[in-house]
Amino acid sequence: MTEVQTIEQLGAAAQAQGHVLGGGTLLMRQVNYTPHQVPNILRITDPAFRQITRAGRQISIGAGVSMAQIIASSDLDFLAPAARAIGGPAIRSMATVGGNLFAPHPYGDFAVALLALGAQVQWADGRTEDIEAFLASRETSKGVVAAVLIEPPQMDALRFGKVTRTKPKGVSVMSIAVLITGVGRSVQQARVAFGAMGPAPMRSKAAEHALAGATLDATGVAAACAACVSDLAPVNDALASAWYRREVAPIHLRRLLLGEN
Amino acid sequence: MPKTPVTFTLNGAETGIFVDPGLNLLEALRREAGDLSPKFGCGQGTCGACTILINGEPHLSCLTLAVAAQDADISTTGGLAPGADLHPLQQAFADGFAAQCGFCTSGMLMAAKALLDRNPRPTRDEVVEAISGNLCRCTGYDPIVDAILDAAARVQGRVTA
Amino acid sequence: MSIEFRKDLFADERDDNLNEIGKPKQRQDIGGHVRGRTAYYDDHLFDGLLHMRCLRSPHHHARIRSVDSGAAERMPGVRRVVHPSDVPNNLNTLLSLIGFGKDDEQLLSDQVVRYMGEPILAIIADTEAQARAACAAVRVDWEVLPHVLDVEEAIAPAAPSVNPAYANNTFDYGPYDHVKLRFGDAQAAFAQADHIVEAEYEMSPIEQAPIETCGAIAAPETADRFVCHTGTQALFFSLGTAAKLLNIASSRLHFIGGTVGGGFGGKVDSITEPMAVLGAILTGKPVKFQWDREEEMQVGAPRGAERWRIKDGVMADGTIIARELTGFFDAGAYTRLSSYAGTKCTGHLPGPYSIPNVAANTFCVYTNRTPATAMRGFGITGVDFAIECHMDRVAEVAGIDPISLRIKNAYRDGDMKAHRRVAKNCALVESCQVAAGKAGWILGTEDMAASSMAGSTPERASIPQTALDEDGKINERRAGRTATTSPVKGTKQLPAGTHGRSHVAVPVQRPDMQIAPERVGHDDPAARGAAHAPAPVAPPVAAPLQPAAAALPAAAATPTPPRAQPAAASQPTPPASAATPPAAQAPQLQAKPYKPDEPFQRGVNRPGASRFLSGARRR
């Protein structure tokens, strides 16, 4: 049955075999329901795993940092809305940044914000990987994620929204994160990321392209909103059909872009 | 299969148990430590009936690996009342009809305690957010939210009722 | 909480000088709840507790070619693999305890699975994790069969047959494959109507979703008994069901209920109790059988899906003169309580409205979906949703205010209902007036002056001449000989004023409770004698409602009076109790207090009675 291995140095984790325990909100569910699929749990006790450190403009968020830590960190106020969108308070004091990177559909809303930010994923063996490449290959990649590296955006440049059917909290119908660089209402460049609209968080490059040079008003964002659907690959689940998700994605993107929420 | 010893503080008392390595803390507390106040409702983090406090923060015991609770300071509803008298939250739940079948109550109380310990004068929205991970199927949320606000008022000496 | 009491309404029907009702009161069990000390079934600890898990069908409909549990049996911690052949009497239907319906469901299915999640085997192991792992190691060779998930597809002639006990995919409401309600002549009335309003409504299944999942713990006890702690909502139902499935005297089963962690109807199906007791019998150890959340949602029987077609004949002034209803209850793969939902619902038609011509066909249909069961007003809530949506639609077509339309058509005290009972204690008119006031909805003076206590007329209070038909006898529909599911034009006529079968002769289940309610648990010969005199008493609650059959000359259905109704034994059992003479026999005078005059019998062998409900005094 399930064995637990304690790893005191992150560097040593790269050689270990098993499932890494972050906050347990996903892995323990699997242990509870299908224990035979989790023969080995790797429990990392290295303090670096749970630390937020700043070097120059770059902020390193340990993979074991919880959503509650994100919310409490004065350096990461731009990520607090995304962290608050994850579960209730108990889940947030457990769920980790690293776990969210691997969270299957329809979970993983925090990773959507990291995708919009263009974070770098740092593996325990020292490699770094762009988050987009990481998400595209996460089902097959091997190794232990040690941290994510980000640069803080300009004030209010990152917008995050989560659509749920139950209030105040629920699982994603979709989540959207948009990083906008520009002056006033005119957009120079945008990164648009969607969650729960495909097997993993994904960018809509069509929407980004349409937003470049646009003005943030109803007319200015219309093309981007209409275009976003072409990049999305939603599935049917208990929360919403793929059809419904496609239909409402442009509306929710518009609301986020225009601050209509 | 060899069992693993785990020691922690449970409601102020030093506690030691032996568990299977993959066991969750909910089962460990209930079967091994004998504290039956946290409840099993889902085993997947959706209901909140197993909510406990670890080092003052709310956690779902069903999603916590028991062996990871080594040296933790654990509080449960079983230890909430100081003695014969009820904790203000318990009293407010009792007076305000905030428990019907009672199965979600332990988790609700712990989620509420985590809130009031950090924020003694919460707004209604903050209370709603604090129990947003706890499901209730029969009492209804309004009496529960009212009771938590009432408990906060009692602690503050702002009892109006 | 604010509850508003409208004591101005029906003030003379009620004593308002009550000590408890209407006043806030702390729950008596609240202390345990807030201290986390309330004992639910899972809060009973047993040393050496074993854990039972089921292997479930991944298919909607499939034949089991073979099961290989060899590897599972050799896995660590596995104590016992439980096969269908280990269940002594592996066929049951829940309502067999009250003599309603055919046995149609196995505890563990041995040949065919009929819904996704149906259990075919159970594994008992030292830990839950071991039981789960062992279940995953069982190899099953499935032959997938065609399935049907839609009620109307299921009753089409070519549809796959779901349940061999009801090969037509409809419950047998003998002699028909549906419940019939006929009152007046709806078809004739439609021809007189100014408007015809027709629409279809659908309700999806709803899971009760209690926070505590279904489960039970059973363990060997002293005196050759088994104790069972359970979260059931129906302790003696579960006891009787376990006794029947396991072919064990109920006197050997010590069932202990207690606080239920939410039920809402989802904890009456009595599945976890026989499973846990079977585990305890087979292993000689305490065994827990607890559903996890996924099981609760997937195989926990929900409120069933319903489809309704309603056709109203409406006059220009908003008077509804005819209503025709065609209803389909989706029972899922097995009956459970859906048969009862069909009759209960039909007794409720046409809703709380006085309509002189009503015809309804209500079907209880088998599909390859999760079996449906009780949930809060099941049989009523779904059709009420349909009826109230339809009332709004009628109001729109007739150009009448929707609340005014309801007040106009609402039952008044003294009106004759479609199932031939007199309406009394009506309150819809007042409810509409209060609701309109709360919503700031302006009603006319006539509507505001209306009262449930006034407005009945001799016409509204009478049973009209009724058109009858014999459409849809069992076996005809699937053979293609019955074309429609809707009520058809009746050719025979039942004279006006004809009541249905009299219920007067049906003896009450518990005469002493009826006659001398303060003497519960004591046998009062005088009361028993009195009770056996044919008195106009209410039919037993547990008896299936038969509103439709009651209206028909060809009424041939379940228990015919004056046969005794088996009781749901809810009476404390004296230490060495005995079976007393059944109700049908002449009562014998006995000295007080009650003493057994026969040795205890295990099981009751009397025609029509469940022989598995023993132990308690029966009548």
Residue corresponding to tokens 């009492």: B139
Q: Is the whole-model pTM more than 0.80?
A: yes
- Residue C304 CA to residue C374 CA, distance in Å, equals 8
Q: Give contacts of A35 with chain C, Cβ < 8 Å.
A: 129, 132-133
Contact A1 C130 (CB under 8 A): yes
| Distance between CA atoms of residues A56 and C545, nearest Å | 78
* Least confident residue range of A60-69, A228-237, B115-124, C3-12: C3-12
* Number of Cβ pairs < 8 A linking chain A and chain C: 21
Tokens of C229: 């702690």
Q: Would the CB atoms of B86 and C38 count as touching at under 8 Å?
A: no
Helix axes C381-398, C338-348, angle to 10 degrees: 40
Chains that touch A (3 or more CB pairs under 8 A): B, C
Where are the domain boundaries for CATH 1.10.150.120 in chain B?
Answer: 88-160
- Going along chain C from its start, the domains and CATH numbers come out as 43-145+208-298 (3.90.1170.50), 151-206+321-393+411-430+455-494 (3.30.365.10)
Residues A77-96: what's their mean pLDDT? 97
Q: How far is C129 from chain A (nearest CA, A)?
A: 6
- Long-range contacts for C576-585 (Cβ within 8 Å, ≥24 apart)? C576/C600, C577/C615, C577/C616, C577/C617, C578/C617, C579/C604, C579/C614, C579/C617, C579/C618, C580/C523, C580/C617, C580/C618, C580/C619, C582/C606, C582/C609, C582/C618, C582/C619, C583/C507, C583/C511, C583/C532, C583/C619
Chain B from 63 to 92: CB within 8 A of any C CB: 76-78, 80-81, 86, 89-91
Q: How many helices (H) and strands (E) does chain C have?
A: 16, 17
> In the block, which residue shows the tokens 């109001």?
C395
List the C215-221 sheet strands across, edge first: C78-82, C119-125, C50-56, C287-290, C215-221, C225-230, C253-256
Six token digits for residue C145: 């069969």
CA angle at residue A60 from A58 to A64, to 5 degrees? 165
- The domain made up of B88-160 has a fold known as DNA polymerase; domain 1 (1.10.150)
According to the model, what pLDDT value does residue C499 have?
A: 85
DSSP 3-state of B129: helix
CA angle C235, C241, C242 (to 5 degrees): 90
Q: Is residue C70 within 8 angstroms of chain B, CB to CB?
A: no
Which is it for strands C320-332 and C306-314: parallel, antiparallel or unpaired? antiparallel
- Tokens standing for residue A30: 């699997």
What is d(CA A119, CA A98) in angstroms, rounded to the nearest whole number? Answer: 12
User: What's chain B's average pLDDT?
Assistant: 95
Please list every residue in chain C whose beta carbon sits closer than 8 Å to the beta carbon of residue B146.
1
Q: Left, alpha or beta for B118 (phi > 0: left; psi -120 to 50: alpha)?
A: alpha
Give the phi and the psi of residue A197 in degrees, each rounded to 5.
-120, 25
Q: Which residue from C347, C346, C312, C319 is spatially nearest to C407, judged by alpha carbons?
A: C319
pLDDT at C606: 47
Task: Determine the distance in angstroms separating the CA of B43 from the nearest CA of chain A, rounded to an integer.
Answer: 6
- DSSP letter, residue B47: S
Cis peptide before C175 (omega within 30 of 0): yes
For residue C215, give the H/E element and its range.
strand C215-221
SS3 state at C48: coil
Q: Are C125 and C131 in contact (CB under 8 A)?
A: yes
A32 at C interface, C-beta within 8 A: yes
Tell me what pLDDT residue C21 has: 76
Given a contact cutoff of 8 angstroms between Cβ atoms, the answer to whether C291 and C366 are in contact is no
B10 has a pLDDT exceeding 50: yes
What is the enclosing helix (H) or strand (E) of A194?
strand A186-195
Q: How far is CA C553 from the centre of its chain?
A: 26
How far is Cα A87 from Cα B131, in angstroms, rounded to an integer? 10
Fold of B4-79: Ubiquitin-like (UB roll) (3.10.20)
Q: Which residue has the tokens 């989620």?
A: B111
Spell out the alpha helix ranges (H) of B43-104.
Answer: 88-95
CB atoms within 10 A of CB B154: 17
- Chain A residues whose CB is inside 8 A of the C137 CB are 36
Q: What are the per-10-residue average pLDDT scores of chain C (619 residues)? A: 77 78 85 97 96 98 98 98 98 90 97 98 98 98 98 96 97 96 97 98 96 98 95 95 94 94 96 98 98 97 97 98 98 97 95 98 98 95 97 98 98 96 94 96 96 95 96 94 94 90 51 40 44 41 40 39 39 39 40 44 46 40
* Cβ-based neighbour number of residue B102 at 10 Å: 29
Within the 10-49 window of chain A, which residues sit less than 8 Å (CB to CB) from chain B? Answer: 21, 23-25, 28-29, 31-33, 35, 38, 41, 43
User: What is the number of helices (H) and of strands (E) in chain B?
Assistant: 5, 5
Residue spans of the domains in chain A: they are 3-150, 158-258
Q: Would you list the DSSP string of A80-131?
A: HHHHHTSSSHHHHHH-BHHHHHHPPTT--HHHHHHHHHT-EEEETTS-EEEH
Cα angle B15-A38-B65, degrees, rounded to a multiple of 5: 20
- Mutation target among A1, A2, A4 for the B interface, most CBs of B within 10 A: A4
Smallest Cα distance from B85 to chain A, Å: 27
For position C99, what pLDDT does the model report?
84
Report the Cα–Cα distance between both ends of chain B, in Å, rounded: 56
Question: For the range C85-90, what are the long-range contacts, defined as Cβ-Cβ under 8 Å and sequence gap of 24 or more?
Answer: C85/C110, C86/C278, C86/C282, C87/C245, C87/C246, C87/C274, C87/C278, C88/C245, C88/C246, C88/C247, C88/C248, C89/C244, C89/C245, C89/C246, C89/C247, C90/C245
Are B117 and B58 contacting, i.e. CB atoms less than 8 angstroms apart? Answer: no
Token representation of residue C116? 């996704």
User: Where does chain B hold its CATH 3.10.20.30 domain(s)?
Assistant: 4-79
B132-to-A86, A205, A233, C290 alpha-carbon distances in Å: 11, 34, 30, 26
Mutation target to probe the C interface, by most C beta carbons within 10 A, among B101, B108, B113, B142 is B101
Q: For C272-304, b where at least 16 C-beta lie within 10 A, e where not — what string?
A: bbbbbbbbbbbbebbbbbbbbbbbbbebbbbbb
Distance CA A92, CA A57 (A): 26
Residue A211: predicted pLDDT? 97
Return the residue of C nearest to B76 by Cα: C36
Distance CA C1, CA C23 (A): 11
Q: At what angle do helices C272-283 and C235-246 cross, to 10 degrees?
A: 50
| A1 with C292: Cβ contact below 8 A | no
CA C579 to chain centre: 28
At A104-163, the pLDDT tens digits run 999 999 999 999 999 999 999 999 999 999 999 999 999 999 999 999 999 999 999 999
Nearest C-alpha of chain C: how many angstroms from B28? 12
The reply to whether C45 touches chain B by the CB within 8 Å rule is: yes
CA distances from B85 to A199, B89, B150, C31 (A): 52, 11, 17, 11
ipTM greater than cut 0.95: yes
Q: Count the alpha carbons within 13 Å of C314 in the hemisphere toward its beta carbon.
A: 26
Q: Closest-CA residue in chain C for B140?
A: C1
Fold of A3-150: 3.30.465
Whole-angstrom distance, CA of residue B3 vs CA of residue A3: 10
Question: Does residue A240 carry a pLDDT above 50?
Answer: yes
Of C26, C27, C293, the CB nearest to B43: C293
Contact C30 B99 (CB under 8 A): yes
Q: Are C531 and C515 in contact (CB under 8 A)?
A: yes
* CA–CA dist C13, C129 (Å, integer): 60
Given an 8 Å threshold on Cβ–Cβ distance, is C260 in contact with B101?
yes
* Beta-strand pair C50-56/C78-82: unpaired
Residue of A nearest to C292 (CA): A33
The one-letter amino acid code at A106 reads P
Q: Which residue of A has its CA nearest to C137?
A: A36
Tell me whether residues B67 and A4 touch, CB distance under 8 A.
yes
CB contact under 8 A, C292 and A35: no
What whole-number distance in Å separates Cα of residue C354 and Cα of residue C460?
A: 7
Residue C300: which of C560, C45, C56, C529 has the closest Cα? C56
User: Rounded to an integer, what distance in angstroms lies between the CA atom of residue C84 and that of residue C107?
Assistant: 7
Q: Is B56 at the interface with chain A, CB within 8 A?
A: no
Architecture of the domain spanning A158-258: 2-Layer Sandwich (3.30)
- pLDDT tens for C461-482 read 999 999 999 999 999 998 999 9
Residue located via tokens 């049955």: A1
| The CA-based dihedral angle spanning residues A187, A190, A196, A199, taken in that order and rounded to the nearest 10 degrees | 150
Q: Is C215 exposed, middle or buried (0-12, 13-18, 19+ CB in 10 A)?
A: buried
3-state secondary structure of C430: helix
